[in-house]
Amino acid sequence: MEFDATFWVAVSFIIFFGALVYFKIPQTVNKLLTKMIMDIKNEIDESEKLRTESKQLLDNAQSKLNSVSVETKKILDQAKSESDKLVIDMNDKFHKSAEIKKNLAQNKITQIKEAAIKEIKDTSIKIAVNSVKKIITTSVDKSKLNNLFEKNLEEAKSELKKINS
């Protein structure tokens, strides 16, 4: 009897499975699979614990973040109100300072104006006195001129004293 290739494949298949059973490979594979299942189950349980802990940490962090957010808002509101007060105070100080400088400038202008008027009057008087002097010296004799000059000089002095007072 001649055996074809399928027969030999079937025989080798049976021998292969027999060798597997003889060497207890299915039990070893079963133990390995059971161990892997237990390891996976332990990892799943541990990951569940870690997930629970991380959820608690996330909740704690979220509550801290919310409280920090509220505190930050309070601080920002307080800083805004303080800066508004500071701006108002600085604005008031600026206006007061500007008013003081304006008054000082006006006083200085008034003083300069008064000094200029006084100088103009003094110069006018000098010019008038000199003009009168020239006119008198050219048109009047010396004795009358001296008397007139003395008289006019005294009047000019008295007028200057009145003006300066």
Looking at residue 145, what is its pLDDT? 66
Q: Looking at residues 15-32, what average pLDDT do you find?
A: 89
CA–CA distance, 11 with 89 (Å, rounded to integer): 106
What's the mean per-residue pLDDT of the chain?
A: 88
Q: What is the pLDDT of residues 92-148, one digit of tens each?
A: 999 999 999 999 999 999 999 999 888 888 888 888 888 877 776 676 566 776 777
Tokens of 33: 């699979």
> Quick one: which of 83, 46, 1 has its CA closest to 54?
46
Q: Is the pLDDT of residue 30 over 80?
A: yes
Q: Is the pLDDT of residue 163 over 80?
A: no
Q: What is the 3-state secondary structure (H, E, C) of 74-109?
A: HHHHHHHHHHHHHHHHHHHHHHHHHHHHHHHHHHHH
State the greatest distance between any 2 C-alpha atoms of the chain, in Å, as a whole number: 188
Tokens of 16: 């292969």
User: What is this structure's pTM?
Assistant: 0.40
% of the chain surpassing 90 pLDDT: 56
Looking at residue 82, what is its pLDDT? 93
Q: Residue 86: how many CB atoms within 10 A of its CB?
A: 10
Domain boundaries, the chain: 5-164
Looking at residue 136, what is its pLDDT? 63
Looking at residue 135, what is its pLDDT? 74
Looking at residue 159, what is its pLDDT? 78
Q: What is the pLDDT of residues 67-82, one digit of tens each?
A: 999 999 999 999 999 9
